[in-house]
Amino acid sequence: MRKNMQIQQPQNNEKAYKIIAVDDEEGIVDSLSIFLKRSGYSFTGVTDPKEAIEKVKNEHFDLMILDFIMTPIHGDEVVEEIRKFNKDLYILLLTGHKDLAPPLETIKRLDIQGYCEKSDKFDQLLLLIESGIKSIAQMKEIKKINDELEKAYLESIETLRYTVEAKDTYTRGHSDRVSAYSVLIGKKLGLKQSELNTLKIGGLFHDIGKIGVPDSILLKETKLSENEYSQIKNHPSIGAHILSNATIFKDILPIVKHHHERYDGKGYPSQLAGENIPYLARITAIADSFDAMTSKRTYRDSLPLEKVKEEIKKCSGTQFDPKIAEVFLDILENHYDEIEKIQKTYQ
């Protein structure tokens, strides 16, 4: 190993990057430890691949140097486990010989950033580490920018939201509850986090189009005329139009526009039916209807829970997606404490 070679840490880094090396040859781990610590890195060496998985699960590491052929499990199996809970760890794979490297498809599938043959000089590995550290620094900067954009996004949608609430005080509690109910249903359906985030924001803004409905109709305490009701029915299209010019809202547009579609095609504004209705809009639709039925309004009391469950059962397959209705009914039967928690939070 060349002791005069030094990896240059990025100038703007205040804390040492954390590197974990996993190799069942203790000598390799010791050599890496000496070199990387001398280069200013925080280093952890592990000879047991199963122990390494637990360490990555419980500690933060920026980069992993991983031997491919190990016992009791190989490096690709280690990565397989790690990728179940950590998608960001930068991984460099070591092989005793290039012919022993895993297939390229495996490297791509497991998102392994690079691999090289073992050498007592570590030249190639050092170059890969240096490149990896630069990539990690760039990704951290991108994440920082994305976090700032997300903050600006949330602030902008809150401003729009308050504009609607200024017109209709019912909307705030209603939209908060619809958002929370939708996320609850989404979790029971096993949706991924990005979809849950879309449900959350979509629920908060599903009624944004009411900003375009005259106050005389929106705030009317008696029964609406047919003409007045037709204007209310325009709010999904109005909402989608308001948000359509900003790309940051593109993911929630299907919810905003189609949360009043019916599974039998008799809803509005587009009379979509069945699976042609965007999936997340189908979830929001049942959450929206549930809150409407269980909320007290100036012109009627809230419906008893048993009556609400009967209505959802009756409308399964006509108004509501039957599979989503089944999941929501299970929540109402067996997890009603979660519903009550939402109702208490957003009274």
Catalytic residue from among 87, 134, 187, 210: 210
Round to whole Å and give the CA distance between 151 and 262.
34
Three-state secondary structure readout of 98-153: HHHCCCHHHHHHCCCCEEEECCCCCHHHHHHHHHHHHHHHHHHHHHHHHHHHHHHH
Helix (H) / strand (E) containing 36: helix 26-38
Catalytic (active site) residue 84: no
**Is the preceding omega at residue 322 within 30 degrees of 0, hence cis?**
no
Residues taking part in catalysis? 210
